[in-house]
Amino acid sequence: MSAPFALALHGGAGPIRNSDQSRETANMGNLLEDGRAMLTKGAPAVDVVIAMIQGLEEAGFYIAGKGAAPNRDGKFELDASIMTSDRDSAGRRAGAVCALSGFLSPIAAARAVMDKTPHVLLAGEGAARFCAKAGLTRVDDPQNYYTPAASSLAGTDALAHGTVGCVALDTSGALCAGTSTGGVLNKMPGRIGDSPLIGAGTWADERVAISCTGQGEYFIRAAAAADVSARMKYAGMSVDAAAAGALADMERQGGDGGLIAVDAGGRIAMPFISHGMRRAACDGQGNITVSVFR
């Protein structure tokens, strides 16, 4: 029997109940079929996470990549991170960018930081200079390229609605998590949330991989992603209990959102405390489920 694999995606927490999410669910289902095919053929978790997040970034349906919303100055500043670990704890790697302008795929930029620099996080101007040198695809005309997915939320008091993320376990036992976002709506210039911060919005070690979505300030104060792993490590919790516990701690601070997690045995947890969370999962038997509300 081949080794187990598992894969999950999210397209952000906070969709309003009864809103039509059919485009997003079809998009996530199609992407997962591609991801399942990649994992079945033995693709590394990191390649699958990048491919899934790029598919979500390109769709323009989420507040990430093409669908990102501008900040209060009308500028598009995007954030992303990726972390991966071998079965062996010595193999952890991570990369991230924040307040990045002018490049098509923030998650590709995060991967380039991981693969090509000794650093974990590059910000703003320096990140853009690095991306240009690394040959990443530019967005030459931001005002025409971005189609803010958030325009349908105008007039609501919604803050966070469409970060995207992915977690995967591959057949070698490697785990990977990635997150990409345009941040919260109407954000201050320079504002950075949890998504590009390793340990807050994204984490992957030899035990579990996590990607979070929601009001980033609360996830940062809870170190939410790393807290899932810590609960498993020190308290011997299952991924379900650890994910629920980390989210409850974040909620006690007054925050809102959800997360996806996959452990080294291929078990998937996708808890959320908002109205809904766009989410999709493919288990070790290859069964795909896509949902938004409870």
Positions that interact with ligand ASP (CB under 6 A): 12, 63, 160-163, 181, 183-184, 193-195, 201, 213-216
Per residue, the 3-state secondary structure of the chain, as one string, reads CCCCCEEEEEEEECCCCCCCCHHHHHHHHHHHHHHHHHHHCCCCHHHHHHHHHHHHHHHCCCCCHHHCCCCCCCCCCEEEEEEEECCCHHHCEEEEEEEECCECCHHHHHHHHHHHCCCCEEEHHHHHHHHHHCCCCECCCHHHHCCCHHHHHCCCCCCCCCCEEEEEECCCCCEEEEEEECCCCCCCCCCCCCCCCECCCEEECCCEEEEEEECHHHHHHHCHHHHHHHHHHHHCCCHHHHHHHHHHHHHHCCCCEEEEEEECCCCEECCECCCCEEEEEECCCCCEEEECCC
Q: Which two tokens stand for residue 220?
A: 């940062």
How many angstroms separate the CA atoms of 283 and 155, rounded? 38
Residue closer to ligand ASP, measured from CB, 85 or 180: 180
Q: How far is the CB of 265 from ligand ASP (least distance, A)?
A: 27
- Annotated catalytic residue 163: yes
Q: How far is the CB of 115 from ligand ASP (least distance, A)?
A: 24
Q: How far is the CB of 6 from ligand ASP (least distance, A)?
A: 22
Residue closer to ligand ASP, measured from CB, 136 or 277: 277
User: Residue with structure tokens 């670990």?
Assistant: 85
Q: How far is the CB of 62 from ligand ASP (least distance, A)?
A: 8
Q: How far is the CB of 178 from ligand ASP (least distance, A)?
A: 13
Residue closer to ligand ASP, measured from CB, 64 or 269: 64
Q: How far is the CB of 202 from ligand ASP (least distance, A)?
A: 10
Closest CA to 117 of 101, 99, 129, 105: 129
Q: Which one from 84, 163, 181, 213 is the annotated catalytic residue?
A: 163
Contact (CB, 8 A) for 79 and 97: yes
How many angstroms separate the CA atoms of 151 and 171, rounded? 40
Residue closer to ligand ASP, measured from CB, 21 or 43: 21
Residue closer to ligand ASP, measured from CB, 201 or 245: 201
Residue closer to ligand ASP, measured from CB, 55 or 162: 162
Q: Position 30: which residue type?
A: N
What are the catalytic residues? 163
